[in-house]
Structure 1
Amino acid sequence: MKRFHRIVVLAAIMALVAGCGGAGQQRTGGQEQNAQPPAQQQQQTEQTQQTPEPAAPEQPAAPENPEIILATTTSTQDTGLLDVLIPIFEEQTGYIVKTIAVGTGQALKMGENGEADVLLVHAPDSEKPLVESGVAINRRLVMHNDFIIIGPADDPAGVKETTTAAEALKNIADAGAIFVSRGDDSGTHKKELSLWKEAGIDPKGSDWYQETGQGMGATINVANEKLGYTLTDRGTYLAQKKNIDLVIVSEGDAPLLNIYHVMQVNPDKFPMVNGEGARAFADFLLTEETQEIIKNFGVDKYGEPLFFPDGGKVEEDLTGGK
């Protein structure tokens, strides 16, 4: 009975101590501290908890084969368009694009040899045989601008008086004025040769006809130094305009339309081709977001776009079936 009584008394004392502590005081290390109500303790705990940092943006899964070889014309490089588009594509997909900017003829040759994965070019008549042979697949229209003839402001050949590009070239030939050609089998060079043919003139071997064998930007610079004429795409001219004295002397003729297509090199013919990467890049060029970038590219700097987006269209929509 005594043992039971001690237990009961001890329990009563412990309950009393606990009750006093809950009423407002407790002892810690022999010093008194004010106790906080449970609600306040909970609020303080919540405030002292570290706020979680926002989750980092989810990175795209690394592609199994991340490197893409893009063979393209120099105009897409010289205008700065690819400097805008490629970083966006790489960030969105995890692919790495190796760009080889050459004449369209060389770009098509790279595709024919399986040395590139995807082609962005502007010589429709030369592109179609690659598709027909099965070397290139999924050829799609991306954008267009136009070709122009530029020359000295005083226009010694009287090109401004003509109404067609073929007439403009005939005037240049008749005047023996310097004409600087790329001479590199590019899309621009192919267009130039077709215009000479339309004019009924073979300029090869003439003293006034000079070839650079270089890209558009370099050819414009040579023409500027020699105060000569040349054929260029409008985009590259606008990008170079502030650094040269040459002006537009002929534009607007229907044959001067400059159309860009994207094509994938067929992985069934070339097992080393990155088919998935090529398809990803080609699809990217045709997305609504990318087409909007193309639409606005150059407007802030030059007051007009360097290219016009054509996603979802076919070539006949631009040429009227011609």
Structure 2
Amino acid sequence: MQRRRLFAALLSATLVSPFAVGQETIRLSTTTSTENSGLLKQLLPVFEAKTGYKVHVISVGTGKALELGKNGDVDVTLVHARKLEDQFVDEGWGVGRRDVMYNDFIVVGPSEDPAKLKGTKDVIAAFRRIAATNVKFISRGDNSGTDVMEKGYWQQAGVKPAGANYVSAGLGMGEVLNMAAEMKAYTLTDRATYGAYQARTGLAIIIEGDKRMFNPYGIIAVNPARHPKVNYKGAKALIEWITSPEGQGRIAAFKPAGEQLFFPSAQ
């Protein structure tokens, strides 16, 4: 009987998915949008069940997510600020960046739209009008991908709201959307987080459709040459899965309230 049990155990081990590695942990730093939208709850349990890995998620702004990678505090990072991502790789902190998905940024605000922006699509012109009107704008102020994009828009506009009309929150996207609702203010957000918070905030989409609001996401393994103790094998497994037909299909299938919030882009 004991031999039969041993044989059965050995046989089952040979039938486990080739991805399976036991209960090792992968530390993933990622943006608040992937967490707040509910996307990771759609993806990670499937990956964990398939591979045996356990993914520990640290949800912060893109700047902080990349900083965690530089410090070797995570194994892999999933972010959305291409300029910062390329710099992260060029400086040798990360390796093997892959495109994962994209969506877009939108400007949201009170439904009464005090700056009279509805019906326009030019995000730079909209920012100029916000600055010229006595309305509030809430900035994330946290060096996230959204924050970097917003600062770029103000720079292109050549102006920014002054004084109390410009609030730098230093908070995640969900908290900023709540603040914008309470203060009847405008803000820049990714569409996915807005979708998750729309019902509770009542904010309306004011500006969308400008090609300058394109929002791509990339995934990068932390360079084991810089941090030998990172779980590079696990990072590669997650990257390969999320960019595989299965992972990409699950991203496309994520449609809370019937709306697709992310669009797969892995090559």
Post-superposition offset of 1:64: 6.7
Q: What is the CA–CA distance in structure 2 between the aligned matches of 1:260 and 1:235, rounded to whole Å?
A: 12
* Match among 249, 256, 260 for residue 305 of structure 1: 260
1:210 aligns with: 167
CA RMSD of aligned residues (A): 1.8
Post-superposition offset of 1:201: 1.1
1:191 aligns with: 149
2:208 aligns with: 251
Q: Mapping of 1:61-76 within 5 angstroms? A: 63=21, 66-76=24-34
Post-superposition offset of 1:63: 2.5
2:249 aligns with: 292
Structure 2, unmatched stretches of 5+, are 1-10
Instruction: In structure 2, give the amino acid aligned to 1:308.
Output: F
1:273 aligns with: 230
1:228 aligns with: 185
Q: What is the CA–CA distance in structure 2 between the aligned matches of 1:254 and 1:84, rounded to whole Å?
A: 28
* Match among 108, 112, 117 for residue 150 of structure 1: 108
Residues 113 and 65 from structure 1, CA distance in 2 versus in 1: closer, same or farther, beyond 3 angstroms? farther
Q: What is the CA–CA distance in structure 2 between the aligned matches of 1:163 and 1:261, rounded to whole Å?
A: 26
1:160 is paired with a residue of what secondary structure?
Answer: coil
**8 Å CA contact retained: 1:107, 1:121:** yes
2:91 aligns with: 133
Residues 304 and 65 from structure 1, CA distance in 2 versus in 1: closer, same or farther, beyond 3 angstroms? closer
Dislocated runs of 4+, deviation >4 Å:
55-62
Tell me whether 1:178 sits opposite 2:136 in the alignment: yes
Instruction: In structure 2, give the amino acid aligned to 1:143.
Output: M
Post-superposition offset of 1:65: 7.4
Q: What is the CA–CA distance in structure 1 between the aligned matches of 2:204 and 2:89, rounded to whole Å?
A: 37
Q: What is the CA–CA distance in structure 1 between the aligned matches of 2:122 and 2:230, rounded to whole Å?
A: 43
Using the size of structure 2 for normalisation, the TM-score is 0.91
Q: What is the CA–CA distance in structure 1 between the aligned matches of 2:48 and 2:119, rounded to whole Å?
A: 48
**8 Å CA contact retained: 1:60, 1:94:** no
Q: Which has the larger radius of gyration?
A: 1
Q: What is the CA–CA distance in structure 1 between the aligned matches of 2:257 and 2:153, rounded to whole Å?
A: 28
Post-superposition offset of 1:151: 0.6
Q: What is the CA–CA distance in structure 2 between the aligned matches of 1:310 and 1:161, rounded to whole Å?
A: 29
* Match among 82, 94, 108 for residue 40 of structure 2: 82
Post-superposition offset of 1:284: 0.8
Q: Deviations over 1:99-144 (max 9, x none)?
A: 0000000001111111110010000011111111221100010000
The structure, 1 or 2, with the larger RCO (C-alpha pairs under 8 Å, 6+ apart) is: 2
**8 Å CA contact retained: 2:76, 2:235:** yes
Instruction: In structure 1, give the amino acid aligned to 2:94.
Output: A
Post-superposition offset of 1:211: 1.8
1:160 aligns with: 118
Post-superposition offset of 1:230: 0.5
**8 Å CA contact retained: 2:37, 2:196:** yes
Q: What is the CA–CA distance in structure 2 between the aligned matches of 1:142 and 1:167, rounded to whole Å?
A: 30
1:273 is paired with a residue of what secondary structure?
Answer: coil
**Number of residues of Structure 1 aligned to a counterpart in Structure 2:** 255
Q: What is the CA–CA distance in structure 2 between the aligned matches of 1:56 and 1:249, rounded to whole Å?
A: 56
Instruction: In structure 1, give the amino acid aligned to 2:257.
Output: Y
Instruction: In structure 1, give the amino acid aligned to 2:117.
Output: V
Q: What is the CA–CA distance in structure 2 between the aligned matches of 1:201 and 1:283, rounded to whole Å?
A: 43
**8 Å CA contact retained: 2:118, 2:206:** yes
**8 Å CA contact retained: 2:27, 2:57:** yes
2:7 aligns with: none
Q: What is the CA–CA distance in structure 2 between the aligned matches of 1:233 and 1:226, rounded to whole Å?
A: 19
